[in-house]
Amino acid sequence: MDSSALDYVAQACMDLTDAITSINNEAERDSLIVNHIKKVWSIVTPIDDFKKNLEWVNVSEPISLTQHCSEKVVVLDFWTYCCINCYHVLPDLAHIEKLHKVDSGLVVIGVHCAKFTNEKECANVLAAVQRYSIHHPVVNDPESTQWEALGIKCWPTLLILGN
């Protein structure tokens, strides 16, 4: 997704937040949200799948967004193991995973994007996953391919995808 589309979505979300704060009527609030989703959905394009030959942790085979997740809501957690704020979201992600199992339609996928050279090593990513008891699938994207393709700017970033 190009940066102009991301800017559009970001602005639409800020506009929605501003509009909702002044509404007390639940039906009107729901209508605003539905209209927001329609507005944003009209410019959304599918994202590319994960690059082939990336290393994965906590799964027996690589996950394909199109093949394995097309009927699911997917939370992509862009993180790096040197980022303290990335660890602060882990309890919330674990709680979401506990409430909504994969078979109910929700998948959390950690996308590790290295900030420093030593973080590109999958063994180091695996050690961090084990140290912090991360149980969801994690893909090590050492060249930050998805990060760049989606215009991600900071760690952590949570991106919610749905069909």
How do residues 9-59 score in pLDDT, each as one tens digit? 888 888 999 999 988 898 998 898 888 888 887 777 778 899 999 999 999
How do residues 122-132 score in pLDDT, each as one tens digit? 999 999 999 99
- Give the span between the Cα atoms of 96 and 107, in whole angstroms: 10
> Residues near 23 by Cβ (< 8 Å), separated by ≥ 6?
29, 32
How do residues 102-149 score in pLDDT, each as one tens digit? 999 999 999 999 999 999 999 999 999 999 999 999 999 999 999 998
Determine phi and psi for 62, rounding to 5 degrees: -60, 150
Other CB atoms closer than 10 Å to residue 1's CB: what's the count?
17
User: What Cα–Cα distance (Å) separates residue 152 from each residue in 7, 17, 96, 138, 149?
Assistant: 12, 21, 22, 17, 8
Rounded to the nearest angstrom, the gap between the alpha carbon of residue 15 and the centroid of all alpha carbons in its chain is: 22
Q: Quick one: which H or E segment has residue 78? A: strand 73-79
80 closest CA partner among 155, 137, 160: 155
136 by Cβ neighbours in 10 Å (0-12 / 13-18 / 19+) ranks as: buried
The pTM score is: 0.80
Q: Which parts of 22-131 fold into alpha helices (H)?
A: 26-41, 65-68, 84-88, 90-99, 122-131
